[in-house]
Structure 1
Amino acid sequence: MEVSFGGIIGLYSGMILGLFAWWFGRKQARKNRGLDELYFHIWQKARSYSWYVTLGTLYVLFSLILFGIEISAAIVLSILIIAHLGSWSIIGGVLSINMSNPDLLEPSRVKLGIIIIAVSIIVFTIISILTNNWKFLLFSILPNLIGVLIALTPNKNNSE
């Protein structure tokens, strides 16, 4: 068994930097009185919705395995944690913007944006797994940006 020192450094430095960013963000929010009931409500809802995304990701991964595609445990766990934490942050951001923005976001546009993001990530992840080339995931950046723009753009008809 080979030891990947770059992987070990990346894994633990990512964890340390993530914990530091979380701590610093909470410290700044506490200083600006941002840790109120609305904050906790938004992030609880985001965590709840992200479990639905994680469940969908599990079904996609199980389907790939049923179709005979071999996926290592490390790749499966990486995809699951990216799907869960990524959807949690995106959904939390959308909910935070929607709650603090005077122009309400249209729920159908938000859902369309989230669907575009989820489908592009799933499709390009499957292509990356099938081709054994992770660079195909880079092609999902443009559809993800389009999905974010669609989701976060308020309806111009309602804002007038």
Structure 2
Amino acid sequence: MGLQIGGMIGLYGGATFGLLAWWFGRRMAKKQRGLDELHDHIWQKARSISWFFTLAAIYILFSLVVFGIELRAAMVLGIIMIVHIASWGITGVILSINMNMTEPLKPSRVKFGVTIVLVSFIIFTILSISTGNWWFLLASIPPNVFGFIKALTPERSNDA
């Protein structure tokens, strides 16, 4: 019973904190005149791109079922929700940074970094699901950090 209470606290507490953070962020952006057409375009584009990541996650989960790995509905829905929300947020941050930089990021560099993150996360998630040991997901943190750094930092020029 203690696990179910913790799950309820996490589920509704996470939603509550997420909505409060969203509301507070929009309030702060409104004070600084940050809610303009560019903001709307960036986050609509990010939401559109996140559906491609969600579709890929659904195909991967279906493939796991085809290969005989037993998945529960709550686990599948949780993974899909995490993939969708995380890809929406990460894509929005990348687009926001790119639109507000004096020199935009190179698409090849961003794609390389995102590919590192996706491949490492997928590999370690499949490894965790197939072994039943969720500690394998911790091993995905270093390549994910490297991928984010690679994607979000501009290439240094050798002109100095």
Q: TM-score, normalised by structure 1?
A: 0.95
Change (3 A) 1:78 1:158: farther
Structure 2 residues not aligned, in runs of 5+: none
Query: Counterparts in 2 of 1:67-78, with a 5 A limit?
Result: 67-78=67-78
Equivalent residue number for residue 8 of structure 1: 8
Change (3 A) 1:66 1:31: same
- How much has 1:3 moved relative to structure 2? 6.9
Distance 1:159 1:40 in 2: 36
Moved over 2 A (4+): 155-160
Query: Counterparts in 2 of 1:123-138, with a 5 A limit?
Result: 123-138=123-138
Matched AA of 1:76: V
Given that 1:124 and 1:137 are in contact with CA atoms closer than 8 Å, whether structure 2 keeps it comes out as: yes
Equivalent residue number for residue 145 of structure 1: 145
- How much has 1:156 moved relative to structure 2? 2.3
Change (3 A) 1:42 1:105: same
Matched AA of 2:134: W
Change (3 A) 1:3 1:136: closer
Q: Is 1:36–2:33 an aligned residue pair?
A: no
Q: TM-score, normalised by structure 2?
A: 0.95
RMSD: 1.8
Equivalent residue number for residue 57 of structure 1: 57
**Tell me, what secondary structure is at the counterpart of 1:157?**
coil
- How much has 1:112 moved relative to structure 2? 0.8
Task: State the percentage of identical aligned residues.
Answer: 58
Equivalent residue number for residue 93 of structure 2: 93
Given that 1:103 and 1:159 are in contact with CA atoms closer than 8 Å, whether structure 2 keeps it comes out as: no
Change (3 A) 1:133 1:95: same
